[in-house]
Structure 1
């Protein structure tokens, strides 16, 4: 029997969400960080129009979409690469810049796909401690070794929901060795954006990449569209390992149309954050800890890993699926995607009842 590469055989498969609700229970999926409402109607209409030409390959340069992204964010479209979700671009960066003997560095509770992308290349994965579930730039710098080629940081973080300032990221980039690539994944950036607080200009240094996605705030998770701002030299290398027809024509059209409806996207973010904050407030009378979140989810920290497992079982018995966080080295935590108000109220009620039974309220 043919054998896989040794480093692949040693990997665990990327953990997918379990969505098998018990018989007789309505599935309440709060485990995939999807949007609580569909995308802008303009996006759906654009995708439907583009679907008429599915006998043709999509534009491999994403011309219309890059122009729309560039105009909105005041970025040169030539610096933008689009991917089949931001995971596509993370994987390409790892393949282009990591090899056996190299190392990637991530915060202790980082997005688990950083691990998958790194180990798939045969490189080593190093971690640095966080401070109060927040990226610690000083700890990352202290963990850099001569083998470090990439530092991956999600900001805001997944699964923590916390964020560090653009000033901290700028200082991190300025202090890292010049030959270490800093990759900042801003998948939840629209939930945390302020007009003066962005870090796209870090790319001008030539050793930083900023990634974003249409899956979260724009509600296009099913379309699989991510994008990033790349220095020209890095873009040239990433293009070599990128599928040249990676984003379908319908997905490109939907994403470009979604960008034109900023009011709808901002309304989605405001609706999400309002429900998120009410959910966190509902659980304040318990012994559960919910760190401040700048995303479309909330992390729930239980007194122990066994308590988190027991609460997860209680929720699943009612058809409510959150996401366990052992893969991010947080076995005592569950992550709740923010869904519609009624579903979040139901989840909070089940958790409060469980806390009462366990003497945790």
Structure 2
């Protein structure tokens, strides 16, 4: 008999990233992973390249330079920040630190798939609260959490729907939860949101000891390949995360690239401007083809397809892939009739719309 893992581990379905290849297509358009259409900051790329001269050295285990740069740009306290190998690692560290087998974890109906992985890795029970119009329903989350939820994960804005709830609603949620429940606000797409009623939750995390906010460098900063994220919260939470993370969990090139990226506000603005223009264009153009598109504040759109044979999401995915257009099926989220498409460069966006027009008209 072989060595057996802990009960429940083999029930976990590994996270499947967005596809990157289209069979038979030499140079496909990849719009499956919500990557920054503009790439990354040239200053970040230069810092990454310069770090090659020091690859024989261990990085600073506390990523001090990066934490101080984040604190300076975001108006935060460096000692209340911890960095990680993407925000995914930080979410998993929260599960490792705070969840016991049998604990209850709550998310919204179409919450990010990593929350399920975090719960299952710890042997916790995951409860999904129904959404309303593909948007987090705070009352449903409160009801699902009850008085015994250990963690409530809130993706705001949410992937894969692209919707968000206001700062007032986030605060209402936090006020209604027991103080024994940790609210984790996953604000991976925060920099794309320009609506006045939105907040990434940093001020709420500063005010309370039962809120932590996770952020990423993968989206607006275009550093998905560097695997870099950060979390902000009360010192009591950050101290716990420092205790359970690896001693050198952020590599040296990522630290250097992230430090340069967080300070390049011009690149961030250009990225957000590009997204604002093209996410609206995609929604208008795709909607004009007779397809429903969920309003999005992120760098992607969720496209809904009919159940008519030959016009389903699976049919569309296969057709687009055959044309070298790779977008993301979201059936694992419980959305079998939808596909998620990243905002790309101008020419890529036009190719996507042309491909969908051909599919719908064929």
TM-score (norm 1): 0.95
Count residues with an aligned counterpart: 357
Q: Deviations over 1:4-49 (max 9, x none)?
A: 2221011111123233312145311110111112211111111122
RMSD of aligned alpha carbons? 1.5
Residue 344 (structure 2) aligned to one of 312, 333, 339: 339
CA distance in 2, matches of 1:88, 1:24: 33
Partner SS, residue 122 of structure 2? coil
Q: After superposition, where does 1:56-135 map in structure 2 within 5 Å? A: 56-135=57-136
Matches within 5 A, 1:16-55: 16-55=17-56
Matches within 5 A, 1:1-361: 1-193=2-194, 197-198=198-199, 199-203=201-205, 204-304=207-307, 307-357=312-362
In the TM superposition, what is the alpha-carbon distance from 1:55 to its structure 2 partner? 1.1
Following the alignment from structure 2 to structure 1, what is the Cα–Cα distance between the partners of residues 140 and 217? 31
Please say if residues 325 and 333 of structure 1, whose CA atoms lie closer than 8 Å, have aligned partners that are also in contact. Answer: yes
| C-alpha separation in 1, matches of 2:62 and 2:14 | 31
- Any runs of at least 4 consecutive aligned residues in structure 1 with deviations exceeding 6 A, and if so which? none
Query: By how many angstroms is 1:344 displaced?
Result: 1.2
User: How far apart are 1:348 and its partner, in Å?
Assistant: 0.9
C-alpha distance after superposition, 1:194-245 (max 9, x if no partner): 6884321211210000111111001111111101102111112222211121
| TM-score normalised by the chain length of structure 2 | 0.95
Change (3 A) 1:330 1:16: same
C-alpha displacement of 1:174: 0.9
Q: Cα deviations across residues 244-296 of structure 1 (Å, max 9, x unaligned)?
A: 21111111111111122101111011112212221111112222111111111
Q: Give, in angstroms, the shift of residue 152 of structure 1.
A: 0.3
SS in 2 for 1:290: strand
* Contact 1:305 1:333 (8 Å CA) reproduced: no
User: For residues 198 and 349 of structure 2, what CA distance do their matches in structure 1 show?
Assistant: 30
Cα deviations by residue, 1:105-126 (Å, 9 ceiling, x for unpaired):
0000011111111111111110
Q: Deviations over 1:149-173 (max 9, x none)?
A: 0000111100000011011101111
After alignment, is 304-313 or 133-142 more displaced? Answer: 304-313
Deviation at 1:139, TM superposition (A): 0.5
Please give the alpha-carbon distance, in whole angstroms, between the structure 2 residues aligned to 1:56 and 1:189: 33
| 1:186–1:210 Cα contact (<8 Å) kept | yes
